[in-house]
Amino acid sequence: MALKAAVVILNWNGWSDTIDLLNSLEEVDYQSLSVVVIDNASSDESVERIEEWMRQSQSPYLVLQTPKDLQEGALENIASKMGSLGPGFNLVCSHTNLGFCRGNNLGMELAFQSGIDIAVVLNNDTLVSKGFLAPMVDVVENNPDVGVVGGVITYCSDPNIIWYAGGKFNRFLTAHRLGNGEPLSSLKATGPFDTEWISGCMTLIPAWVYEKTKGFSEEYFIWSEEWDHSLRVSQAGYRLVVVPAARICHKIGKSLGVMKPLNYYYGIRNGLLFQRKFLPSYLWYPYFGYYLVNRAVRYLQLALAGRADLALAGFAAIRDFILGRSGMWRAQKRNF
């Protein structure tokens, strides 16, 4: 009997991309597949549009509401109060913006308490191929030492060009995507291969691994969580594997835009959170000293180039890191 799988999708003011993804998921040839869309307190028409799409689909659907005090309680307790997911499509409407980490964790909690064996987290700005899921599930079923699985991700603008085909860290835990910008034909691996980190754009997490690691670390809110999760899964004794036969494409940079204060802030602050957490002290302290000097120069350059907004976001990120602030950026609560 095939393992029961659920796809978890986080939506934040991106109903058009989410519906494109749902259309592609309708074509997936996998039995026992449920889909969970977590709407992260969108301020646009997302809830209405996505519910309308589900109503018009040929599959059953269910709409759930989160408690208004969702930020306060443990997710396993909150999920148990919300009940089980239904077959087909599920729309979970959150009253607050939970961020990427807590939002996806909620989706996985709901899936696993509903008897789902495997959750696949997908960015809403992706499109899946018809057979993307089965090869990943096969690897988990046949290899108990595999903890997290990913696939090959290409650019939607050119599906023959690789965006991610595995990940690697350097000595200071700066992450790099392997194969980025190269043609698919350059990918030599035909079977599953090990990697150092799995992209959060598509991450398959079995229930038994989630039980040990509890999904994404919620201190990050969004970004860098994929690296943290990968290292924690590795430290728990599991392998991380990329399956070339599992293909999706990525629209790139749709959720927050490219080079805007929000993603610049989270990229800086969370990168520091991640490196401080995992780097040994003898590497961390000299690295951080060099980093501060480098950033001061960089932010001056940004200000002189007319991007004072990015410079201010960068300074705020370093300040909040030093002050121990995590989760949602305070400026985001006020202004976005």
Look at residues 229, 27, 203 and name the one whose alpha carbon lies nearest to residue 118. Answer: 203
Mean pLDDT, the chain, whole residue set: 93
Would you state the pLDDT for residue 108?
97
What is the sign, positive or negative, of the torsion defined by CA atoms of 75, 213, 321, 163? negative
Q: How do beta strands 146-155 and 61-65 pair?
A: unpaired
Which band of pLDDT confidence, cut at 50, 70 and 90, is reported for residue 109? very high
Which band of pLDDT confidence, cut at 50, 70 and 90, is reported for residue 67? confident
Main-chain dihedrals φ then ψ at residue 90, nearest 5 degrees: -135, 135
Look at residues 11, 35, 207 and name the one whose alpha carbon lies nearest to residue 100. Answer: 11
Residue range 166-181: mean pLDDT, rounded: 96
Using DSSP, how many helices (H) and how many strands (E) does the chain show? 11, 13
Distance of CA 31 to the CA centre of its chain: 24
DSSP string, 278-302: HS-HHHHHHHHHHHHHHHHHHHHHH
Listed by start position, the domains of the chain span 5-250, 261-335
Is the pLDDT assigned to residue 21 strictly greater than 90?
yes
DSSP state of 206: E
Tokens of 323: 């002050």
CATH of domain 5-250: 3.90.550.10
Which SS3 state, helix, strand or coil, does residue 80 take?
Answer: helix
Instruction: Count other Cβ atoms within 10 Å, centred on residue 50.
Output: 25
Cα 112 to Cα 2: distance, rounded to the nearest angstrom: 16
pLDDT per residue as tens digits for the range 134-165:
999 999 999 999 999 999 999 999 999 999 99
Residue for token digits 């991106």?
14
Which band of pLDDT confidence, cut at 50, 70 and 90, is reported for residue 126? very high
Number of alpha carbons in the 13 Å side-chain half-sphere of residue 118: 26
pLDDT per residue as tens digits for the range 88-99:
999 999 988 999
